[in-house]
């Protein structure tokens, strides 16, 4: 299917690996000119045809600089994919063990960074009658499934997308949310990531946790979701083929969430 994206422009945050890199790859394959933003952009971004831009979005001033550089590079902006997130390491303890600083860091990275980038990009997106996709988590719907600051921040992000769609729909801007379940990324697979930390807290080998994760989370498939699968959904939602879809939260979690 031709997604009618050839020649369009996009900014993808959190683009250096995992879901973000897969989104950059998928958009570029459709003929989109892409700026891939990351704290430390690697050669992988250039290899898939993106323009790499270094941006540490934990710095509140970085969002404006990033959008300005994106508009300079691309001459306009049709698509924004807010994928930046994470920061869930060191959060395997319970609620009473978490400090204000930990809450602030996680909420800032998983929610407020997207607020700031979106605010900076919206004038250009409104001119282009463009599309925004925010990457949340199915943990927003099942908040007991991960560290409480992380799932709370993702719930805020999901609500943000719906409110933004309502306000800017009349201006031609579509806003959707994609909420993955466990995805085969460093968050779960890295020996220094959240998955390894959780396995240690549970007293089980890390590979066993990964192998048992689909069943333990109620997934109806016997594997983790692949980044390319999430990227395919995001790419479709940014396209004119999805022109009637806005204000929606799209689960891609192998059936883990059972509610409607």
- For the annotated catalytic residues, the residue numbers are 150
Give the 3-state secondary structure of residue 250.
strand
Question: 115 CB contacts (<8 Å, ≥6 apart)?
Answer: 160
CA distances from 192 to 42, 92, 94, 101, 189 (A): 19, 13, 20, 21, 8
Give the contacts of 234 (CB within 8 A, at least 6 positions apart): 23, 26, 81, 133, 135, 178
- For tokens 């508009």, name the residue: 71
CB atoms within 10 A of CB 69: 17
Cα–Cα dist 74/129, whole Å: 16
Q: Give the count of beta carbons closer than 10 Å to the beta carbon of residue 119.
A: 12
**How close are the terminal C-alpha atoms of the chain, in Å?**
29
Distance CA 216, CA 102 (A): 27
CA 20 – CA 235 distance, rounded (Å)? 11
Distance from C-alpha of 97 to C-alpha of 84, rounded to nearest angstrom: 25
């Amino acid at each position: 299917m031709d997604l009618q994206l050839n020649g369009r422009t996009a900014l993808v945050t959190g683009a250096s690996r995992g879901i973000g890199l897969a989104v950059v790859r998928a958009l570029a394959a459709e003929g989109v000119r892409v700026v891939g933003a990351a704290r430390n952009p690697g050669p992988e971004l250039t290899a898939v045809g993106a323009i790499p831009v270094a941006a540490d979005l934990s710095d509140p001033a970085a969002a404006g600089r990033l959008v300005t550089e994106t508009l300079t590079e691309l001459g306009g902006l049709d698509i924004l994919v807010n994928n930046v997130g994470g920061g869930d390491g060191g959060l395997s303890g319970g609620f009473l063990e978490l400090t204000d600083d930990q809450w602030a860091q996680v909420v800032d990275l998983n929610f407020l960074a997207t607020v700031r980038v979106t605010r900076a990009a919206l004038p250009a997106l409104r001119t282009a009658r463009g599309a925004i996709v925010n990457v949340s988590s199915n943990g927003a719907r099942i908040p007991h499934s991960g560290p409480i600051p992380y799932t709370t921040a993702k719930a805020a992000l999901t609500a943000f997308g719906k409110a933004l769609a309502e306000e800017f729909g009349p201006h031609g801007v579509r806003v959707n949310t994609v909420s993955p379940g466990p995805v085969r990324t460093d968050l779960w697979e890295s020996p220094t990531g959240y998955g390894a930390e959780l396995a240690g807290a549970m007293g089980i080998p890390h590979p066993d946790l990964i192998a048992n994760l689909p069943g333990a989370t109620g997934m109806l498939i016997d594997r983790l979701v692949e980044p390319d699968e999430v990227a395919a959904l995001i790419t479709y939602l940014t396209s004119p083929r999805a022109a009637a879809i806005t204000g929606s939260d799209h689960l891609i979690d192998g059936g883990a969430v059972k509610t409607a």
